[in-house]
């Protein structure tokens, strides 16, 4: 029988398996169940345990909030991303349409596409995530653009709790995004889109050309809005990671307090890990020669 | 070997505790980290590079952490990871690779770094399970002969 590296490594793995089985035997000798089960067992520890448990519960709630906030903001981000690319397409059409070499029929074709996009933008301006209107501020149950062309949202912040005394605004500012005049409710956004459509309809090349700069300023509001949103998303991601680490630290400590005599565990771990490491290092030496070594 | 470590920012979840004592078990890769003010807050640490040889190069300190740890040009940092001990089944114990503790032995400063990359698990089993071993074996099957 040819002894291949394959057999050597299988043997090694089965030896490693043996030593890890030995660990199972070892740990069975240490403890059965939780070291502390009722308050009278160790009153000082029980206080610490209850404190930790309360902390963990609130941190888990904050972490849930953070995940939901991330879901919400990512959905808002994807809506604004789509709207941005639609505005970019409109800008492209405006550049094309402002060229006087276009025949009236050509402008008609451009208008057809532009109107489709404008209509879709109007629908998206009333986007919802779940049942919440995203561009309404805290009026999340009311459509921000009810068909009158006037904004009904507000600029109050939509806050979620992400820590003790840490509330975080997850909303996007609809007033800034759409360039809403706070006194009249009229928006630069819909004004610019309507002007563009009218200009195409009238075959007014100069007015179509003017729409390019209007669309540019809409695009820049959307880019600003997305940048702000992106910064918020990355902050919440950081908070989320931090909370995850906090929860693990607290849970680790809880299980140390409750279940384990750390000193005893260290002794056991030492012996099991040393066995394991010895097996690994012997293994590494066995497997070392490979085909490459013979090709030298 | 016992040494005092100061965590200027505490560690996540225990921000109010800054002073810890680190007991490194001699001739091992294990240590115990205890809060000086509250001995009941204690963690069990391991040098993960022995289990995951390609781990260390992936741990990257930002300028902020470098500053907290007061790392000088010739300083060698010490990297530990927290183990969650499963007393009922030690073999199932996990290690948090997502958030290593970085210590600067010269200045006695420490920080728990949180890695943002998803590649590190916060509950990585310390010992390969039977299934992992089989998978490794199958991977090697084609390559070795």
Distance from the Cα of B38 to chain A's closest Cα (Å) equals: 10
Q: Using a CB-CB distance cutoff of 8 angstroms, which residues of chain A are in contact with residue B133? A: 13, 16-17
Cβ under 8 Å to B: A residues 244-283: 244-253, 255-257, 259-260, 262, 265-266, 268-270, 272-274, 276-277
- The pLDDT value recorded for residue B53 is 82
Instruction: Tell whether A110 lies on the interface with B, counting CB pairs under 8 A.
Output: no
C-alpha–C-alpha distance, residues A77 and A233, integer Å: 9
Flag if A253 and B44 touch (Cβ within 8 Å).
no
Q: What global pTM score does this model have?
A: 0.72
Establish if A42 touches chain B: CB-CB under 8 angstroms. no
Higher pLDDT, A147 or B128: A147
The larger pLDDT score, comparing residue A135 to residue B121, is at A135
With CB atoms and an 8 Å threshold, state whether B40 touches A48.
yes
- pLDDT tier at A18, thresholds 50, 70, 90: low
Confidence of residue B140 (pLDDT cuts 50, 70, 90): very low
- Tell me what pLDDT residue A256 has: 73
Beta-carbon separation of A245 and B99 below 8 A:
yes
According to the model, what pLDDT value does residue B145 have? 40
Supply the mean pLDDT for chain A.
83
Band of pLDDT at residue A50, cut at 50, 70 and 90: confident
Instruction: Assign A291 a pLDDT band (cuts: 50, 70, 90).
Output: low
The residue that leads in pLDDT, A43 or B97, is B97
Judged against a pLDDT cut of 80, whether residue B59 lies above it is answered with: yes
Say if residue A116's pLDDT is above 60. Answer: yes
Residue B38 has a pLDDT of: 84
pLDDT at A249: 92
Residue A38 has pLDDT above 80, yes or no: no
* Contact list, A10 vs chain B (CB under 8 Å): 137
Give pLDDT, residue A145: 92
Q: Out of B114, B133, B144, whose CB is closest to A245?
A: B114
Q: Is B113 on the interface with A (CB under 8 A)?
A: no
| Better-predicted residue by pLDDT, B66 or A48 | B66
State which residue of chain B sits closest to A54, comparing Cα positions: B13
- The pLDDT value given to residue B141: 45
* pLDDT tens track for A249-283: 998 888 777 665 655 666 666 666 666 666 666 66
pLDDT value of residue B55: 85
The mean pLDDT of A93-103, rounded to a whole number, is: 90
Q: Is B3 helix (H, G, I), strand (E, B) or coil?
A: strand
Residue A292's pLDDT is 57
Mean pLDDT computed over B104-118:
89
Question: pLDDT for A218-250, tens place per residue?
Answer: 999 999 999 999 999 999 998 999 999 999 999
Percent of chain A past pLDDT 70, that is, above it, reads 73
Is the Cβ pair B90, A268 closer than 8 Å? yes
Residue B94: the pLDDT is: 87
The whole-number pLDDT of residue A66 equals 95
Position A72 scores a pLDDT of: 95
- 3-class secondary structure for chain A? CCCCHHHHHHHHHHHHHHHHHHHHHHHHHHCCCCCCCCHHHCHHHHHHHHHHHHHHHHHHHHHHHHHHHHHHHHHHHHHHHHHHHHHHHHHHHHHHHCCCCCCHHHHHHHHHHHHHHHHHHHHHCCCEECCEECCCCCCCCCCCCCCCCCCCCCCCCCEEEEECCEEEECCCCHHHHHCECCCCCCEHHHHHHHHHHHHHHHCCHHHHHHHHHHHHHHHHHHHHHHHHHHHHHHHHHHHHHHHHHHHHHHHHHHHHHHHCCHHHHHHHHHHHHHHHHHHHHHHHHHHCCCHHHHCC
Both tokens of A122, joined, read 């109007």
């Amino acid at each position: 029988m040819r002894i291949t590296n394959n057999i050597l490594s299988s043997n090694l793995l089965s030896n490693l398996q043996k030593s890890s089985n030995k660990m199972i035997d070892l740990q069975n000798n240490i403890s059965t169940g939780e070291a502390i089960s009722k308050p009278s067992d160790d009153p000082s520890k029980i206080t610490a345990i209850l404190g930790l448990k309360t902390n963990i519960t609130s941190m888990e709630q904050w972490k849930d909030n953070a995940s939901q906030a991330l879901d919400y903001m990512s959905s808002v981000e994807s809506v604004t991303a789509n709207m941005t690319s639609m505005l970019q397409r409109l800008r492209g059409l405006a550049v094309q349409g402002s060229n006087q070499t276009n025949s009236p029929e050509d402008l008609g074709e451009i208008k057809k596409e532009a109107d489709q996009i404008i209509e879709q933008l109007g629908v998206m301006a009333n986007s919802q995530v779940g049942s919440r209107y995203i561009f309404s501020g805290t009026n999340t149950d009311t459509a921000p653009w009810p068909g009158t062309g006037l904004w009904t949202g507000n600029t109050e912040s939509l806050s979620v709790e992400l820590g003790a005394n840490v509330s975080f605004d997850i909303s996007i500012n609809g007033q800034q995004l759409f360039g809403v005049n706070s006194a009249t409710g009229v928006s630069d956004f819909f004004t610019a889109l309507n002007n563009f459509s009218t200009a195409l309809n009238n075959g007014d090349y100069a007015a179509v050309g003017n729409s390019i700069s209007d669309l540019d300023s809409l695009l820049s509001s959307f880019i600003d809005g997305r940048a702000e949103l992106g910064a918020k998303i990355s902050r919440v991601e950081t908070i989320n990671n931090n909370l995850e680490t906090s929860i693990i630290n607290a849970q680790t400590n809880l299980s140390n307090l409750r279940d384990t005599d750390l000193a005893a565990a260290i002794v056991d771990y030492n012996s099991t890990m040393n066995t394991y490491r010895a097996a690994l290092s012997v293994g590494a030496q066995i497997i070392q020669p490979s085909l490459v070594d013979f090709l030298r | 070997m016992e040494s005092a470590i100061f965590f200027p920012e505490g560690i996540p979840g225990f921000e109010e505790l800054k002073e810890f004592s680190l007991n490194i078990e001699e001739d091992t890769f294990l240590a115990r980290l205890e809060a000086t003010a509250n001995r009941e807050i204690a963690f069990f640490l391991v040098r993960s590079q022995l289990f995951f040889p390609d781990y260390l190069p992936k741990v990257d300190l930002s300028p902020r952490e470098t500053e907290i740890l007061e790392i000088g040009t010739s300083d060698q940092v010490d990297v530990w990871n927290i183990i969650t001990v499963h007393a009922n089944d030690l073999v199932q114990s996990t290690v948090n690779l997502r958030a290593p503790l970085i210590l600067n032995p010269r200045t006695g400063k420490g920080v728990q770094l949180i890695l943002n990359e998803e590649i590190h698990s916060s509950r990585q089993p310390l010992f390969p399970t039977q299934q992992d071993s089989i998978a490794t074996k199958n991977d090697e099957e084609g390559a070795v002969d």
